[in-house]
Amino acid sequence: MPKEKIKVALVGFGSGGAIYHAPLLASLDSYALTAIVTSNADRKALAASLYPESEIFANLDSLLQALPRLGIDLAVISTVNSAHAENAIRCLQAGLHVVVDKPFALSRRQADSVIDIAKSNELVVLPYHNRRYDSDFLTVKKLLREDREMLGKIKSITSRIERYREKPKPGGWRETTKQQEGGGTLYDLGSHLIDQAVALFGAPQTVRASVKQIRGLGTDDDVSLTLVYEGLDYNIKASMVCPNPGPRFEIIGDALYIKEKGCPQEDMLRAGMDPNHTRYGLEKPEDWGYIRPAEGSKVEAREPYETVAAGNWQNYYKQLAEHLEAPKSAPPPVPVEDALIGLSIIEEALQHGQN
């Protein structure tokens, strides 16, 4: 007898909900996208046309009132950042498991409150850090854990997402919302890059930070962090004002690893590709990274380092389904404790990086 599908309410249908959540959930047999919440008239029409089997709600109140009828199991929160914690708490109090898009909350204190309510109600609450399933990150993870001898003694890792916009894009609230309300590059792009560092190495010993406002929009748009681990500096660069973006990943050891381009999933989803397409998440060979030799390294000449697998954000939700079915034996896709580490890093960067 087939297992019952996990009934999902997607709370928020902006770019996050429409691009990073709905297509993935709709592509998996484990889930039924039962409800979508959006107050925007155009987004309501888009959601209804793309997902005709989903019921559309104008606000969270109306969704929560309909829960007895709908039988929702899981809420996915993809609203503006300032509402993440509040919406997560309301859904937990209504008896739903919850996934919260990044940032999980705006502070460690907010996050602790969310987690405490989940525990008291014996419910699952998890951060949505899909970038752990990027092709570039999975490749770096393999290189560090299985082929580290190719690089020798590693001194530093640099991870970048750098863009250049003289003005924020239309509707780009992440670039114009005040930092105190969850806007800015640190909460946006920085959350991804910080979580990848945490996934690899855990909590750093110390954090050095520079958090700048270049365009005068009242929120940060240029961020440089160094997470200091024993014997290793992990550098993070996230910017909306970088005219010459650097490589996505750069690892300096006795040899040098360079990965110029990032994972193609975002571009593919924006173009409307089905996540079940055979080419979804696959990189072209010319986009693979490469290892360049240095004196004394075991690499004799520059050679490509093959991207290990297709990036696949579906795997987050596949692991989540397994965890919801067997929470004691199947690990979560991202431990909620890692979100706390990430928020502690953000708080330290905000405290010291703007002085």
CATH classification of the domain holding 66: 3.40.50.720
276 part of a folded domain: yes
Instruction: Give the separation between CA 142 and CA 307, rounded to whole angstroms.
Output: 9
Mark whether 325 and 307 lie in a shared domain: no
> Which pLDDT score is estimated for 1?
37
How many CA atoms are closer than 13 Å to the CA of 76, on its beta-carbon side? 30
Mark whether 303 and 170 lie in a shared domain: yes
Mark whether 152 and 261 lie in a shared domain: yes
> Which pLDDT score is estimated for 311?
94
Q: 298, 152 in Cβ contact below 8 A? A: yes
Instruction: Report how far apart, in Å, the C-alpha atoms of 64 and of each of 27, 32, 143, 179, 266 are.
Output: 25, 17, 46, 30, 31
335 part of a folded domain: no
Mark whether 256 and 219 lie in a shared domain: yes
> Which pLDDT score is estimated for 296?
57
Digitized pLDDT (tens) for each residue of the chain, 355 residues in all: 357 999 999 999 999 999 999 999 999 999 999 999 999 999 999 999 999 999 999 999 999 999 999 999 999 999 999 999 999 999 999 999 999 999 999 999 999 999 999 999 999 999 999 999 999 999 999 999 999 999 999 999 999 999 998 888 877 788 888 888 999 999 999 999 999 999 999 999 999 999 999 998 889 999 999 999 999 999 999 999 999 999 999 999 999 999 999 999 999 999 999 999 999 999 999 999 999 886 655 556 678 999 988 999 999 999 999 999 999 999 999 999 999 999 999 999 999 877 5
Split into its structural domains, the chain has a count of: 2
Range of the domain at 22: 6-128+316-330
14 part of a folded domain: yes
> Which pLDDT score is estimated for 218?
86
Mark whether 14 and 96 lie in a shared domain: yes
Mark whether 153 and 241 lie in a shared domain: yes
> What's the residue count for the chain?
355
232 part of a folded domain: yes
How many CA atoms are closer than 13 Å to the CA of 310, on its beta-carbon side? 15
Mark whether 228 and 195 lie in a shared domain: yes
Q: Give the rounded distance of the alpha carbon of 102 from its chain centre.
A: 6
Neighbours of 63 (CB within 10 A): 26
* Main-chain dihedrals φ then ψ at residue 48, nearest 5 degrees: -65, -35
Instruction: Give the separation between CA 188 and CA 95, rounded to whole angstroms.
Output: 29
Mark whether 270 and 230 lie in a shared domain: yes
Instruction: Give the separation between CA 131 and CA 263, rounded to whole angstroms.
Output: 9
